[in-house]
Amino acid sequence: MRGLVVKNTGSSYLVKTGDGQLVETKLKGNFRLKDIQSTNPVAVGDHVLVEENTEGTAFIYEIEDRKNYIVRRSSNLSKQSHIIAANIDQAFLIVTVNYPITTPTFIDRFLATTEAYRIPVSLFFNKTDRYNEEDREYMEALINLYETIGYPCYKLSVKYDEDLSFINDLLKEKITLFSGHSGVGKSTLINRLVPGTKQKTQEISDYHNKGMHTTTFSEMIELPEGGYIIDTPGIKGFGVFDMEGVEISHYFPEIFRFSHDCRFNNCSHRKEPGCAVQKAVGEHYISESRYRSYLNMLEDKNENKYREAF
């Protein structure tokens, strides 16, 4: 029996079969994923083959080849990855410049990770109703930066905007990963887009200005007009995983463009003479914040450590 993994509860997987049935399954005891060390070898979005034993318990015994997947380093097991989702058409990163703060460092790490797995990303700047003038100016600066690089950006107030139909148009017939920190409004947005899903929402902590986790496991939500949203737990940060040192620059499109003019083809863009990237930063063709994010990721890789959002 073939099916689509639509929910991961940690100990079992909910699989939707071709005839629309939802079957609770477990992983077969001898199952191993060949290509990657992972804390969760089966992910939401995987197409799997399922069999039942004589007691009627369903087991996943094979994963079909993935179009793509996105991983982050497991925060508890630094040499292993955690697969967030598989077979994704696009990703929406929900960000807030305040209430809570989404740092450019986190945005850049997410974008570099999705670039590595060839997943197109759009940025949604939420909670515009709460921003003061300084917040709005900062948001506009970020939008200008990321649109210049090539990432579509949208402003919204999920709480008050009456018409979110443009988002439905973007989602139609596609599998879309929703990601971002806890508290940025992912669940509220999903409840607006797909009434009846009743995703749990929770206010951010006023004391820490950080979100509190409401989504525990990844889940696929079917859209009325075709396609799925993959709702993921709020993510604190991305460690550098499955990337070689100099290769990290390939996932910053503007850095990669200028790197072709560097004197050395293995230039790390730090202190080498004739580095076109450092020159471009000095001349403001590459933003200093993006360059710092690249250096931080390079440092993480060299020191083999996990770094959170800051």
Least confident of 45-54, 233-242, 281-290: 233-242
Q: Are 253 and 115 in contact (CB under 8 A)?
A: yes
pLDDT tier for residue 40 given thresholds of 50, 70 and 90 = confident
Residue 164 has pLDDT above 80, yes or no: yes
Q: Is the pTM of this model over 0.85?
A: yes
pLDDT tier for residue 56 given thresholds of 50, 70 and 90 = confident
Domain ranges of the chain: 2-65, 87-231, 246-303
Per DSSP, the residues of the chain read -EEEEEEE-SS-EEEEETTS-EEEEEE-TT---SS--BS-SS-TT-EEEEEE-TTS-EEEEEEPPPS-EEEEE-SSSTTSEEEEEES-SEEEEEE-SSSS---HHHHHHHHHHHHHTT--EEEEE--GGG--HHHHHHHHHHHHHHHHHT--EEE--TTT-S--HHHHHHHTTSEEEEE--TTSSHHHHHHHHSTT------PPBTTTTB------S-EEEE-TTS-EEEE----------S--TGGGGGGSHHHHHHHTTSSSTT--SSS-TT-HHHHHHHTTSS-HHHHHHHHHHHHHHHHT------
Mean pLDDT of 159-184: 94
Residue 7 has pLDDT above 90, yes or no: yes
Percent of the chain with pLDDT over 70: 82
Residue 309 has pLDDT above 60, yes or no: no
Residue 211 has pLDDT above 60, yes or no: no
Q: Regarding predicted confidence, which is higher, 184 or 81?
A: 184
Residue 304 has pLDDT above 60, yes or no: no
Q: Regarding predicted confidence, which is higher, 41 or 175?
A: 175
Fold classification of 87-231 (topology level) = Rossmann fold (3.40.50)
Least confident of 24-28, 292-296, 304-308: 304-308
Residue 34 has pLDDT above 60, yes or no: no
CATH number of 246-303: 1.10.40.50
Mean pLDDT of 302-309: 48
Chain mean pLDDT for the chain? 86
Fold classification of 2-65 (topology level) = OB fold (Dihydrolipoamide Acetyltransferase, E2P) (2.40.50)
pLDDT tier for residue 100 given thresholds of 50, 70 and 90 = very high
Looking at residue 37, its pLDDT comes to: 59
Residue 112 has pLDDT above 90, yes or no: yes
pLDDT tier for residue 243 given thresholds of 50, 70 and 90 = confident
> 244-291 pLDDT, tens per residue?
677 899 999 999 999 999 999 999 999 999 999 999 999 999 999 999
Mean pLDDT of 208-237: 74
> 115-161 pLDDT, tens per residue?
998 999 999 999 999 999 999 999 999 999 999 999 999 999 999 99
Task: Say how many residues make up the chain.
Answer: 310
In CATH terms, are 2-65 and 87-231 the same topology? no
Looking at residue 139, its pLDDT comes to: 98
